[in-house]
Amino acid sequence: MSIWKFRNWVIDPDFPRQEQLENLRYYKYAATDKSLLTKYVLRHYWNWAVTLFPTWMAPNLITLTGLVLMMFSVAVILTYVPDLLYSDETPRWIYFCFAASLWLYSTLDNVDGKQARRTGTSSPLGELFDHGCDAINCTFVALLQAAALGLGHSGDAGILLLVTVVGFYLSTAEEYYTGVLYLGIVNGPTEGILVSCLAFVWSGIFGAASWHIPLRDISLLSGIAEYLPENANFAKVFVWGMVFFFLTTHLPFCIHSIYSASSSEPVKRRLAIFVNVLYPIVLYTAAVSLWMWSPYSIIFDQEHYILFSLAAGIMFGMMASNIILAHLTLSPFPSFTGILGSLWLMALLVGIVPSILGKRILAPEAEHLAIWIYCIIAVVVYSIWASMVIDGFCRFLGIRCLVISHAEQRPVPSSSSTLPEQAQEQDSLLQAQEEGAGSSSNNNSRNGGPSYSTF
């Protein structure tokens, strides 16, 4: 079977449809970042960092470079600490490698948009490519955190994965309904990444074992330890802290934003919106949890969590990318039937039915093979989907994904000394636009026609 015939068998050959691509004409980026760290520190750092890149370098290539750095760190995990545990034999430099790759990813993730404005090559493909890489990176970050904290193939590592992907999903769904990417005063892409980088540096200096010192053994914390579970240590505090900040600083604000964006809708329509948003991620989380934490699963017991998280993470990346595509093309919110159906099939075979029967349905070898097959299928399907979307966007917009053509590039000042000033001026204009867009919604665009009020 040829590659083209296989693509046609997996995905509609007319995807993305022409009417979807036509809606790209109404695209205009809108984002709001309320982080004080961004405003007073990182914005100036990013304005300087973008000047290090030549103006012929495509913004999407910068984004992809950051993702490759994170993939390198995952390869380091597989090479030096595949059990995700801590030991005296684990080289300390790998944790500094984690910190460097995540920090550079964050830098490049923020520089790519500045490079696009600097070279006059901003496009909806850039937003799709950027957020699609971010969605895949959620799994990589969770794996780096698990390795740096020495969590092993455990439930705590699974919690970090779910908190990361659910948080990203809600932000993406919020952007779909409000038309604005909103980052609060404390947010994952800024403060969350900084905390993770500091945690990696700590592991590099003191070792991952330092995270597992019981709090009750530290005199300064013995009073607090009395109110915590007996096995409480710094690694547990990190995981619980992630859950706490997700529940208090992220989840309620995303729900409130979606509610506000749909406040003008009838009650039934508003209820339908919340069902559309919540049921996919609830079903995804439930299926992943049933599969991971089933007493009949081999994911933790036989240390297959890394493979499983990569498979489930790629499927999540496809879910998030579909939402972004729907946002850019003013399409209905995706249903994710195939992704959720495949996950629930495995949840039934590994988690639910064995619990009812009191015995395994799949032998350990069969489940291991199933995880491998699931991971390979996820990579293949997502690669085909992404290639078709990128190809459709490039043909319609007349651009190339990883190369800046002379036709699309606008002139930039020849003097490198003026570049930081121009970048800052463009960011000021964008910030003014973002602040104006922060309170607007995109309801009309989801009811048949494009809405200009969002922008």
Over residues 402-453, the pLDDT tens digits come to: 999 765 555 444 333 334 443 444 444 444 433 433 333 333 334 333 332 2
Q: What DSSP string describes 156-204?
A: HHHHHHHHHHHHHHHHHHHHHHHSSEEE-SS-IIIIIHHHHHHHHHHHH
pLDDT at residue 89, as a whole number: 87
Task: Determine the pLDDT at residue 407.
Answer: 59
pLDDT range class, residue 179, cuts 50, 70, 90: very high
Tokens at residue 96, please? 């500094």
Q: End-to-end distance of the chain based on CA atoms, in angstroms?
A: 46
Percent of the chain with pLDDT over 70: 86
Predicted pLDDT of residue 329: 96
Residue 223's pLDDT band (boundaries 50, 70, 90)? confident
* Residue 368 annotated in active site: no
Per-residue confidence (pLDDT) for residue 230, from 0 to 100: 77
Residue 408: predicted pLDDT: 58
| pLDDT exceeds cutoff 90 at 3 | no
pLDDT over 50 (residue 361): yes
Q: What is the pLDDT of residue 449?
A: 34
CB contact burial 292-320 (16+ within 10 A = b; e otherwise): bebebbbbbeebbbbbbbbbbbbbbbbbb
Entry pTM: 0.87
pLDDT in tens, 139-160: 999 999 999 999 999 999 999 9
pLDDT given at position 193: 96
Mean pLDDT computed over every residue of the chain: 87
Higher per-residue confidence, 223 vs 69: 69
Provide mean pLDDT across the span 32-53. Answer: 95
**Per the structure block, which two tokens stand in for 225?**
């330890």
pLDDT > 90 fraction of the chain, expressed in percent and rounded = 72
Kindly name the residue from 131, 153, 304, 327 that is annotated as catalytic.
131
Parallel, antiparallel or unpaired: strands 181-183 and 31-33 = parallel
| pLDDT average, residue stretch 341-361 | 95
Question: Confidence class of residue 13 from pLDDT cuts 50, 70 and 90?
Answer: low
Residue 90 is given by DSSP the state: S
Burial zone of 386 (CB within 10 Å; 0-12 exposed, 13-18 middle, 19+ buried):
middle
Residue 152, phi-psi category: left (phi > 0), alpha (psi -120 to 50), beta (remainder): left
pLDDT at residue 136 greater than cutoff 50: yes
**Beta-ladder partners of 32:** 182
User: What are the residue boundaries of the structural domains of the chain, listed by start?
Assistant: 3-435
| Structure confidence by residue, pLDDT tens digits, 225-250 | 777 787 889 999 999 999 999 999 89
- pLDDT tens track for 57-105: 999 999 999 999 999 999 999 999 999 999 888 999 999 999 999 999 9
pLDDT (tens digit per residue) in 365-415: 999 999 999 999 999 999 999 999 999 999 999 999 999 976 555 544 433
The two structure tokens encoding residue 26: 């109404």
pLDDT of res. 427:
47
Quick: pLDDT tens for 266-304: 888 888 888 899 999 999 999 999 999 999 999 999 999
pLDDT for position 37: 95
The pLDDT score that the predictor gives to residue 271 is 85
Report DSSP state, residue 336.
-
Q: What six digits make up the tokens of 136?
A: 């895949």
